[in-house]
């Protein structure tokens, strides 16, 4: 049963299985294990980014296609849901319609990009996606009447999904059971389902063809696979998945703006997460996203603690000052890429 | 062996030409290939043999002329479409999926033949019949005991065998071998030659073979065509063609038999 859910893609390492189980249960019980608004927010972001990074790995790690338009698709999904909620009011039908439209638009966009540019060399496809994504970013900030421009959109979601809605009066295990918790579990279970769907896709006959194309596109064509068609379908699927992740983000934040969905910073983060976790493995996306977002959220706190305890040493305490967290973040990533060239999953599997 | 000339050819090329700038690599080659025959294509290096193969299997687009397959003009079809119609190719430079296992290489080719590549939601490993078929083909080329290995770790000879396995797996009517024994060790060569001989037993198959070793050609070929500077200069029975002066001059004169053989060991 579990093997079937994982589509036969076993972690193939005791350490990896342990880490994945830890992450699964950590996220499942996050509201109770790590109470507090900030930790719940980090947990929800982790869920969403696992899907986003996994869908990017479908392209980069499995198919060998480099795209810089992934945040654009993420943004299309988020804006789809946001615009529907702004214009139709806080209703479930707005969420459903926005999500479906976002996914369809993202898929259609991906289809057009694939049609025009997948026939050419890989570098041109990468440049094309970069250009389209940048143009889209400008477009969104210019169409302020529709998208809220640089300020983005704030909106209300159905009352049952907001903190104002109380399931029970008393706290359970020290946690208020309110609408925010419901939203968290919507995000968690949706992400889990989307991840399992992605896992199935990469282990399907289709997914195997993608790996063959990554290994040797010339030969894949010469045993009868139309490479352009497969690359296009992979691009579309990856875009749709990213859009769905974007809808979850819009739902969780109750705000959608260029900085939370479309910015190139997020694109770079996604790339880093894929590489750190391990390209060509869906589990790599999980580990990459968890590690990256935890470091991003808590490295400053950790450095603060470190500085306090080292307070007396003059130069060292300056170096570990919390303001220098970006420096340490960068160093950590350089080290992880240096020591784990095949990502953490590759390392844990001992390949 | 008697060529069944009365029958329609499985594959034929009609004034097939390709130019790279001013250089004509294949120059108006017209040739019919009949079911159940093995044709050896010989010629000195740079004569256009591999280019001719690339035009037939579709890696290169013809500048002029046509390729016909079972009565259909396939000149403008993509490589994948030609492959699915039944034109198989084993490449001169080993051309595999290096990071995948030997079994997965063969399984992918079988899967392509079954046209199952667009299946998104079943588990690839649950299609036992594909795996069995792949293993059957690996057994044919004596690679079954290495099925678990990663392809890039195979010896050169084994990679050549896998190359042949991939071609067989797509269920071809036309099989194109481009120097299948090149770079193989002495004891591996007979394995591949036996394999070609076995494939030849099936009278529905048409085999095209680019080969330098004259003893191999003598023992396998029903017919020889000679390419020289992109032109078809001789065509016919192996012993006659080998003996003809034009071949002696164009081919054997440039690369003597002993030398070619020695170079491969």
More confident residue, B92 or A49: A49
Interchain proximity B83–A7, CB inside 8 Å: no
Number of structural domains found in chain B: 2
The three-point CA angle A37-A39-A42 to 5° equals 110
Contact criterion met (CB < 8 Å) for A206 and B169: no
Enclosing H/E stretch for B89? strand B87-90
- B189 and B238 share one domain: yes
Asked if the structure places residue B77 within a domain, the reply is: yes
Q: Is the pLDDT of residue B209 over 80?
A: yes
Is B249 domain-assigned?
yes
Whether residues B135 and B196 share a domain: the answer is: no
Which of B79, B100, B124 is closest, CB to CB, to A203?
Answer: B124
Q: Count structural domains, chain A.
A: 1
The last residue of one of the domains, among B171, B194, B211, is B171
Using pLDDT thresholds of 50, 70 and 90, give the confidence band for residue B232: very high
What is the distance between the alpha carbons of residues A178 and A315, in angstroms, rounded to a whole number? 47
Identify whether residues B82 and B176 lie together within a single domain.
yes
ipTM above 0.90, yes or no: no
How many alpha carbons fall within 13 Å on the CB side of residue A31?
Answer: 19
Residues B265, B176 within the same domain: yes
**Partners of residue B116 in chain A, C-beta under 8 Å:** 205
B80 and B177 share one domain: yes
Point out the domain boundary residue: B141, B171, B201: B171
Q: What is the arithmetic mean of pLDDT over A103-116? A: 93
pLDDT greater than 60 at residue B257? no
Interface contacts A/B by beta carbons within 8 Å? 100
A215 → chain B, closest CA residue: B97
Please state the separation of Cα A135 from the chain's center in Å. 22
Domain-located, residue B91: no
Which residues neighbour B102 within 8 Å (Cβ) at sequence distance 6 or greater? B138, B143, B146, B147, B148, B149, B150, B151, B154, B162
Could you tell me if residue B138 is inside a domain? yes
Instruction: State whether B143 and B187 are in the same domain.
Output: no
Residue of chain A whose Cα is closest to the Cα of B106: A223
| Region B180-197 average pLDDT | 86
Please indicate whether, in this complex, the C-beta atoms of B107 and A230 are within 8 angstroms of each other: no
Confidence of residue B27 (pLDDT cuts 50, 70, 90): very high
B104 contacts A224? CB cut-off 8 A? no
Residues of chain B positioned with their CB less than 8 A from the CB of A218 = 59, 95
Q: What is the mean pLDDT of residues A183-210?
A: 96
Same domain, yes or no: B149 and B105: yes
Quick one: B182 and B263 in the same domain?
A: yes
Nearest-CA distance from B123 to chain A in Å? 5
Q: Which residues of B touch A206 (CB under 8 A)?
A: 117-120
In a domain, B93, yes or no: no
Backbone angles phi, psi at A159, to 5 degrees: -55, -35
Q: Of B171, B193, B213, at which residue does a domain stop?
A: B171
Which range marks the domain in which residue A132 is found?
A: 2-348
Domain CATH number, residue B222? 3.40.50.300
Q: Is there a domain that residue B53 lies in?
A: yes
Closest residue, chain B, to A229 (C-alpha): B118
Task: Using the CB atoms, write b or e for B103-140: b if 16+ within 10 Å.
Answer: bbbbbbbbbbbbebbebeeebbbebeebbebbbebbeb
Contact A206 B170 (CB under 8 A): no
What is the CATH number for A110? 1.10.3470
| Best residue of A219, A228, A230, A280 to probe chain B, by most B CBs closer than 10 Å | A219
Q: What mean pLDDT is predicted for residues B12-26?
A: 93
B22 and B79 co-located in one domain: yes
Q: Which residue on chain A is closest to B82 by alpha carbon?
A: A224
B-chain residues near A215 (CB < 8 A): 97-100
- According to the model, what pLDDT value does residue B6 have? 57
- In this structure, are B180 and B77 located in the same domain? yes
Chain B's closest residue to A226, CA to CA, is B80
Q: In this structure, are B16 and B80 located in the same domain? A: yes
Q: Which residue from A9, A55, A85 is spatially nearest to A255, judged by alpha carbons?
A: A85
> Do B29 and B46 fall within a single domain?
yes
Range of the domain at B107: 98-171
């Amino acid at each position: 049963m579990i093997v079937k859910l994982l589509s036969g893609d076993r972690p193939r390492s005791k350490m990896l299985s342990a880490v994945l189980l830890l992450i699964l249960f950590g996220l499942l019980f996050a509201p109770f294990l790590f109470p507090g608004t900030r930790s719940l927010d980090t947990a929800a972001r982790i869920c969403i980014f696992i899907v986003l990074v996994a869908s990017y790995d479908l392209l980069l790690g499995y198919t060998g296609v480099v795209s810089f338009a992934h945040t654009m698709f993420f943004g299309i999904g988020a804006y789809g849901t946001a615009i529907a909620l702004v214009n139709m009011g806080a209703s479930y039908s707005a969420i459903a319609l926005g999500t479906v439209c976002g996914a369809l638009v993202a898929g259609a966009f991906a289809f057009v990009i694939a049609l025009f540019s997948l026939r050419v060399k890989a570098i041109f496809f990468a440049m094309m996606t970069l250009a389209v994504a940048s143009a889209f970013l400008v477009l969104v900030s210019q169409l302020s009447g529709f998208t809220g421009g640089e300020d983005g959109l704030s909106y209300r979601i159905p009352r049952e999904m907001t903190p104002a809605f109380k399931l029970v009066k008393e706290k359970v295990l020290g946690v208020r059971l309110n609408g925010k918790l419901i939203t968290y579990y919507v995000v968690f279970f949706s992400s889990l389902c989307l991840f399992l769907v992605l896992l199935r896709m990469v282990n399907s006959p289709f997914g195997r063809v993608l790996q063959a194309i990554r290994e040797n596109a010339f030969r894949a064509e010469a045993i009868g696979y139309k490479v352009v068609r497969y690359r296009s379908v992979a691009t579309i699927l990856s875009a749709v998945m990213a859009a769905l992740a974007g809808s979850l983000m819009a739902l969780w934040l109750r705000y959608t703006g260029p900085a939370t969905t479309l910015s190139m910073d997020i694109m770079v983060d996604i790339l880093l997460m894929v590489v750190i976790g391990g390209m060509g493995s869906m589990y790599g996306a999980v580990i990459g996203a968890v590690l990256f977002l935890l470091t991003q959220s808590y490295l400053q706190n950790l450095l603060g603690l470190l500085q306090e305890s080292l307070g007396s040493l003059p130069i060292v305490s300056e170096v570990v000052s919390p303001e220098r967290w970006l420096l340490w973040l960068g160093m950590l990533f350089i080290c992880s890429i240096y020591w784990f060239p095949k990502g953490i999953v590759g390392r844990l599997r001992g390949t | 062996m008697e060529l069944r000339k009365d029958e329609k050819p499985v594959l034929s090329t009609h004034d097939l030409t390709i130019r790279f700038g001013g250089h004509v690599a294949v120059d108006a080659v017209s040739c019919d290939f009949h079911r159940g025959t093995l044709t050896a294509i010989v010629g000195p290096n740079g004569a256009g043999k591999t280019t001719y193969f690339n035009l037939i299997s579709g890696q290169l687009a013809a500048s002029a002329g046509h390729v016909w397959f079972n009565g259909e003009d396939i000149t403008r079809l993509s490589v994948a479409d030609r492959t699915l119609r039944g034109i198989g190719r084993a490449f001169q430079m080993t051309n595999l999926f290096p990071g995948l296992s030997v079994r997965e290489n063969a399984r992918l080719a079988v899967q392509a033949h079954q046209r199952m590549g667009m299946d998104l939601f079943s588990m690839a490993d649950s299609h036992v019949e594909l795996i069995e078929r792949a293993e059957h083909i690996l057994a044919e080329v004596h690679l079954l005991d290495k099925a678990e290995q990663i392809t890039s770790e195979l010896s050169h000879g084994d990679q050549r065998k896998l190359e042949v396995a991939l071609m067989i797996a797509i269920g071809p009517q036309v099989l194109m071998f481009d120097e299948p024994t090149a770079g193989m060790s002495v004891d591996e060569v007979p394995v591949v030659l036996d394999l070609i001989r076995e494939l030849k037993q099936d009278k529905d198959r048409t085999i095209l073979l680019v080969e330098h070793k004259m003893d191999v050609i003598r023992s396998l070929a029903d017919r020889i065509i000679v390419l020289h500077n992109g032109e078809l200069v001789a065509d016919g029975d192996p012993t006659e063609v080998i003996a003809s002066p034009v071949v002696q001059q164009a081919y054997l004169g440039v690369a003597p038999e002993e030398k070619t053989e020695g170079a491969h060991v």
